[in-house]
Structure formats: C-alpha cells, structure tokens
Structure 1
Amino acid sequence: MRTSIPAGTAPAVDVHAHVLLPEVDALVACLPGHAEAGELDARRNGPAALAVSGPMVRERVPLLTDAAVRLAAMDARGVDVQLVSPSPSHYHYWADQETAEKVYRLANEATAAHCSAAPDRLRGLGLVPLQHPGPAVHALDHALAQGLCGVEISSHAPGRELSDPAYEPLWTRAEETGAIVFLHPFGCTLDERLDQWYLSNSVGQPTENAVALSHLIFSGVLDRHPGLKLVAAHGGGYLPTHIGRADHAWSARSDAGAGCAHPPSSYLKRLYFDSLVHDPHVLRELIRVAGADRVLLGSDFPFDMGAEDPLGALRAACLSEADLDAVRGRNAAALLNLAIA
C-alpha cells in the first residue's frame, strides 16, 4: 500500500474494478451456446457500439491483466486498494452445469492469482452460476476458499429473477459467511430497443440495477436476510433517485406491499452502493437516501464508462469531511476488514 496515507486515515478503496481472464475466454470459445450468446450481445448493443468497444477493450488489456500495470494506474489515481471482480463478460450464464462449474472454478482461481501479486492492495471477488442455483453455494464456498471476499452476480439469469426462491440457499450462505455479493448487470432485456447510441449501457445498466434491487426488496429477500452484504454497482441505477414511487406503490396497493415488511426506501439503508453515478448531484442524493455509511468509492476501472479520476468525482460532490472520508474508503475498509494505520 502507498506509504503517504496519514495515520488514522482510511485507505482509498475502489470497490468497482475489473480483471480480464483469458483462461475463461479460452475455455468457452468453441463450446455450443457461446456463439449464440455472442450474437445476442451483439444484437443488444448494435454494430456502432461494438465498433467502439472492441478497440477500447484491446487497448486496456494490460490494465485488465497485468497486476503491475494496474498498481501503477492505481497510484496515479490515488487509489490504495481495489476490490477486483471478473469482467461481466465472463458470466456465461448460457453454459450447462458442467461447463458452468469449470467457468466459476477457473474464474475464482485466476482472480485470486491476479490479486496475489499485491495482497495488501488487491482483494478479489469470484463468480457463481446464477443459471444453476443448485451449485451456487458450492461456487461461493469455492471463491471464499481461494481467499476471495465474495462473488459478483448479474441482475438476473435466463428465466430467473433474483427474487426466485431457488436462490435462498445462496443468500443464506452469503449471510452466514459475511461474503460480499456485488451486483453488476451484464446485458439488458430491453434488447434491440437500446441498440443505438450505446443506450444498452447508459440506459440499460441503470435499468437492470433498478429491476434487480426491486426484486430483492419487494420479494422480502432483504427481510429474510438482513445481514446480506450486497453492493450495487452504478449507484443502484435508477432506483435510489426514484424510490419515492416505489414507496407510494407499497403503501397504495395491496399487491405491491404484499412481499416486504417495510417501505422500500428503508431497505436502501441495508444495501451498499458504489459512487459511480457520473453526477455530483446524484451522488449527494444517493448519500441522502442510503446514508453516507452505505456508499463506497467505485470507478469501473479501467473501462471507458468508468471514472478516470474517481476521487476527483467524489470531491466534486462537496461532501462534509466525515462523509468524504466514509465514502473514500472508511466504509469499504470496514466491509473488507482492512486495517487503518
């Protein structure tokens, strides 16, 4: 860790950073279903987006794969610790159960190996096969056995929302172990409606976040698992800034209020959110509704939809010193059990 951190100051901790795993890509490249999944992704994004994304990712491969290059970039940005998660392109929720087990084992082991290059500065998350809820607990246990802090999941799997009762064992095990569950969507089911102007990401990602979190809230998952350590990427998407509409539905309609015990807004204070909202006013609103103790620094390193200067984006919100310190790293340090000098 950088030695310039003043005594008593929490490290700057970025909880939203990715690693690219060529081993996983090689594993699935020629398997049945992989090409079809790629075609679906291409339709959802559109040709113009793919023409930009391909070169963008290729030029960032060293940042995504070489720990030394990553650490130098962290130093340049003033980031002391990253929580590194696999690129969401590695979910491969199309895979059969045998392939899915190979994917999560390889992803967990490769992520742990990447982080082992600087264990004081890099912590990691693994994967679970959401398309196969049965082995998901084993996948979480495997990730933890590699020394990872938890797992990354998407907003849904084909045919299953996060409210599906089949995921109850996963939530139970994550709560028991204190594992972090990082909710990061990949792909939006609005499909070709978003295939221009990169709407698949700018609109699709915050939509998927809002839908997934709403399923967890309204279904009562968070009532049954109050200790679940769930971190939502992209500031939770549209939900935190429009939570009043959810509260109104919960109080006005018997169908909306049937599944959860409290107003939806109250559950925001049980979740964690990264700070990657691209607008200081939205960040301040997120902190207002969720609490300064529930927001964590996030950059989406090193992709182009991320923040090149995540600490600068945080300072632009003109937070109090206490809130700035909390979001900058104190909250994440507590979540990851990091020592504060």
Structure 2
Amino acid sequence: MTSRPSPDHRPSSSADARPYPTVDVHAHLLLPEVDALVADLPASAEARALDARRNGPAALAVSGPMVRERAPMMTDVTARLAAMESQGVDVQLVSPSPSHYHYWADEETAEKVYRLANEATAAHCAQAPARLHGLGLVPLQHPEQAVRALQHALEQGLLGVEISSHAPGRELSDPAYEPFWSRAEETGAILFLHPFGCTLDERLDQWYLSNVVGQPVENAVALSHLIFSGVLDRHPGLKLIAAHGGGYLPTHIGRSDHAWSARRDAGAGCAHPPSSYLKRLYFDSLVHDPHVLRELVRAAGADRVLLGSDYAFDMGTEAPVAALRAARLPDPDFHAIRGGNAAALLDLA
C-alpha cells in the first residue's frame, strides 16, 4: 500500500521565491440548481439508468456516499478556500461536475441548463474573485446552440467552457462544431476537455473501470478526433486543456505517428505528425504516477502541462503540489507547471 503524499506549500528550492501563484486548473463545482431543474424529466431518468448500467452497482454504492460527503467542498466557497489553503493552492479554475452536462436534453431544456450552470458558476466564483475563476457549459448535443452558450458563459465573466469527449451521435471532429471552434479561437476562450461516461458501456461495469479505464480512453479518442480530422490545423489558436493528462494518448503517441506515416487513410486529415499537435494543446498533471508525468512533460513540453487535482472527487489528489514534486522535474519546469503556465494562459494579473 502506497502512502498518500502530504500537502506541500514549499518551492522546490529555498532560493525560489514563488514568482506566480499555484494554480489548479482541474477543480469541480456541484450545482444543485441544475439537478433540480432536470430531476423530474423522463429523459433524465433514462440517462441515470444508462449511467447506472455503465458504472455497475458496486461503483454506485461507493460513489453516492462519496459525493454526499464531499458535496460541501464543492458547493460552499468557505469550505473550498479552506481546502485550497491546506493544499497550497492559490487559484482554482472551477468547472461544473461533468454530471451536469445532460447531453440528453432537448433544445429548450439544454438552453435552461447551460444558462443556469453558467450563472451559478459565475456566482460561486464571484464570492472569491481573486482566487476562483470559472468555466461554463455548452450543449454539444445541439451544435447550433454551442456558440450562443459559449458567448453566454463569457458574458458572465467566465473564462470559457467545459466539454465532454463526445455527444450522442457526434464526435468532436463533426463539421457541425466548426462555428464553435472558430468562436472559441476568436475569443481566446478556455476549453476544458473532461469526459463523462464511456461508450464501452457494460464492459467497464466492474471495479470502477468506467472511470479507471474509461476516462483515459475517452480522452485519447476525443483528442485523436481533433488531431486526425484537422480541427487543430484549421484552428491553431484554440486554448484547449485536456483533463487526466490527455489519457492514454500522450504516452502512446508514437503509434499515432506511425499510422499517420504508414497509411494514407490515417494521414489524410491532418497536415503534420500527430505528436506535433501535443505541443498545441494543454494537459493537466493528474496522471497518478510520477513516471507518467515525466513522460507527459517530455511528449508535450513543460510549457504545456498545468497543475490539476480533480478537486474534490476521490479519483483526484488531495496534494497536487506534492504529486507534482514527486516527478522530480527541474526547478523551472516544476514552477511552470505549478502555476506559471496557467497564470499566462488564464491571463492572471
């Protein structure tokens, strides 16, 4: 049994003076208002049943009490700030729990969801504006609403939006999303790619494989769609952060490069080897293994990795700075990932 790293406020050497804040870009918010909005809708019950099948009864028996226990940390700003103090985190980029996507919703309900989520997230962050910055939601199941939803989020003072790895019947490579990518690029909005659910369904319904394996798979598939389809060629200015270190893709990107060079079907959609696009994306540091984190830094570059904790869920880390320190990176890389990269990306004063 491995010991849990303790919270760590220290710079990596006594000579360093913390020139910028420690920034956690992967921190969640629960929105009871959104849950109440959709609770009695028949389609919501169907979505919950699908989620139950995908996760399995054993996982649900653990997840329910875990979320209830940790809910105050994701709803009450005072509790959030206290946790940040204990972790040595100065600033959080707060995104709604992915359980609030509700990509099953019809157009009318979807608009209500994103408006309520954006406004509630902005209100939460406004209670500590120097320390909390927020992301909203967009209904990927209705691409025609995506630009309006993004604009609404920005109008609330949010820095961008959180998106999943796909919507029912649509991958992120779908041409219907082109106006959304264009608007995100034009505005400089942050896009946080965080999966919810995995289309492998009941194959992952034991041992919490729906999350343990499913999330990294979904990250890798979604990023591959963005790369191989040419989305990142057409929109090189996108500011996209991939949760969970980008899943399995960065550490297995050599296979993608080989396919791009060896097969005309694989190489038809993007102009450059897939590995080169890792340096156009951002990744959080939440990979749970210092050796994997070092490989992520090697593959993407130290300037493309940001501190992430998955606050406050049990699949995150309660000591993100200590987890970063365990990778034993050079001091400049450590401090860039600890906060320098995020400070520049989020334009923190």
TM range (shorter): over 0.9
Structure 2 counterpart SS, 1:60: helix
Residue identity opposite 1:188 in structure 2: C
Displacement after TM superposition at 1:8 (Å): 5.9
Query: Is residue 73 of structure 1 aligned with residue 83 of structure 2?
Result: yes
Gaps of 5+ in 1: none
Per mean C-alpha deviation after superposition, the further-off stretch among 217-226 and 24-33 is: 24-33
Query: Which of 266, 269, 288 is the aligned partner of 1:259?
Result: 269
Residue identity opposite 2:181 in structure 1: W
For 1:163 and 1:70, the matched residues in 2 are separated by 36
Displacement after TM superposition at 1:74 (Å): 0.1
Normalising by structure 2, what TM-score?
A: 0.95
Query: Is residue 303 of structure 1 aligned with residue 303 of structure 2?
Result: no
In structure 1, the residue matched to 2:322 is 312
Query: Is residue 44 of structure 1 aligned with residue 54 of structure 2?
Result: yes
Displacement after TM superposition at 1:32 (Å): 2.5
Residues 1-341 of structure 1 aligned to structure 2 (within 5 Å):
9-339=19-349
For 2:17 and 2:317, the matched residues in 1 are separated by 27
Displacement after TM superposition at 1:201 (Å): 0.3
For 1:93 and 1:283, the matched residues in 2 are separated by 32
For 2:81 and 2:182, the matched residues in 1 are separated by 35
Displacement after TM superposition at 1:304 (Å): 0.2
Structure 2 counterpart SS, 1:33: helix
For 2:135 and 2:245, the matched residues in 1 are separated by 19
Residue identity opposite 1:321 in structure 2: D
For 2:41 and 2:106, the matched residues in 1 are separated by 10
In structure 1, the residue matched to 2:3 is none
Residue identity opposite 2:131 in structure 1: R
Displacement after TM superposition at 1:178 (Å): 0.1
Structure 2 counterpart SS, 1:119: coil
For 1:135 and 1:20, the matched residues in 2 are separated by 23
Structure 1 counterpart SS, 2:128: coil
Displacement after TM superposition at 1:269 (Å): 0.1
Displacement after TM superposition at 1:10 (Å): 1.2
Runs of 4+ in 1 over 4 A off after TM superposition: 4-8
In structure 1, the residue matched to 2:7 is none
For 1:7 and 1:203, the matched residues in 2 are separated by 39
Aligned Cα root-mean-square deviation (Å): 1.0
For 1:60 and 1:158, the matched residues in 2 are separated by 29
Give the length in aligned residue pairs.
336
Residue identity opposite 2:170 in structure 1: R
Distance 1:56 1:203, change over 3 A: same
For 1:62 and 1:143, the matched residues in 2 are separated by 24
Residue identity opposite 1:168 in structure 2: E
Displacement after TM superposition at 1:52 (Å): 0.1
Identity of aligned residues (%): 83
